Amino acid sequence: MEEGPRNERLRLRFVTRAEAPILRSRYAHEPGGFNDFGQAATEAPAAAEHAIQASRGQLPSGELRDEHSGVLWVEVLGGGGPIGTVEYHRVMYGPNAESAGWMIGIDLRPEGRGQGYGAEAQRLLADWLFQTTSANRVEAQTDIDNLAEARALETAGFTREGVLRGAQFRAGAYHDLVVYSRLRDESEKIERS
């Protein structure tokens, strides 16, 4: 099993199929939060649940990942267990392989928030996706009112592109989403600077 990406404070580690029940119980979505889509309390955050379902039966590595998606623990180095998850899945902007990008998502538990880990984890994930795949684009979307995630993405090197009006139905209403992205050459510039 290959080592996940890490920095001085954090490491990302693929969730294993055996850990899916932990993901569902301890890391269940937060009622009323930005990742609450009305799913059952026993389900993982929506994106992670999707990865669990999508990867069912096709996991030679035993990890929750395939060529389309993956979900990783965010762990603080030095112990204490995971503080949340990050997730990625493929998005297509044309029929050819070159037009494939990655959409990422994050869900930190309350005790993992407010310490800058959100930006670091998303930077680590985007860097890793550029290093291990040929994608030109990594993107993220967040509720227009999720100012902590917007700021975390900017700190992670993402650029705000625009607003998807009324795109997401959650908590009984449609919500505007803000789109952010990082491109491969921007990632290289960041690494050189």
**In the block, which residue shows the tokens 């625009």?**
162
Q: How far is the CB of 60 from ligand COA (least distance, A)?
A: 30
Q: How far is the CB of 116 from ligand COA (least distance, A)?
A: 5
Strand-pair category, 82-92 with 100-108:
antiparallel
Nearer to ligand COA, 143 or 186 (CB): 143
Kindly list the residues in this chain that would bind ligand COA in the complex (CB under 6 A): 33-35, 84, 105-108, 113-118, 142, 146-149, 151-152, 155
DSSP string across 139-175? EEEEETT-HHHHHHHHHTT-EEEEEEEEEEEETTEEE
Instruction: Say which residues have a Cβ less than 8 Å from residue 109's Cβ, sequence separation at least 6.
Output: 27, 83, 84
Q: How far is the CB of 151 from ligand COA (least distance, A)?
A: 3
Nearer to ligand COA, 64 or 74 (CB): 74
Nearer to ligand COA, 135 or 152 (CB): 152
Rounded Cα gap, residues 55 and 180, in angstroms: 26
Nearer to ligand COA, 61 or 115 (CB): 115
- Residue 86 half-sphere exposure toward CB, CA atoms < 13 A: 29
Q: How far is the CB of 100 from ligand COA (least distance, A)?
A: 21
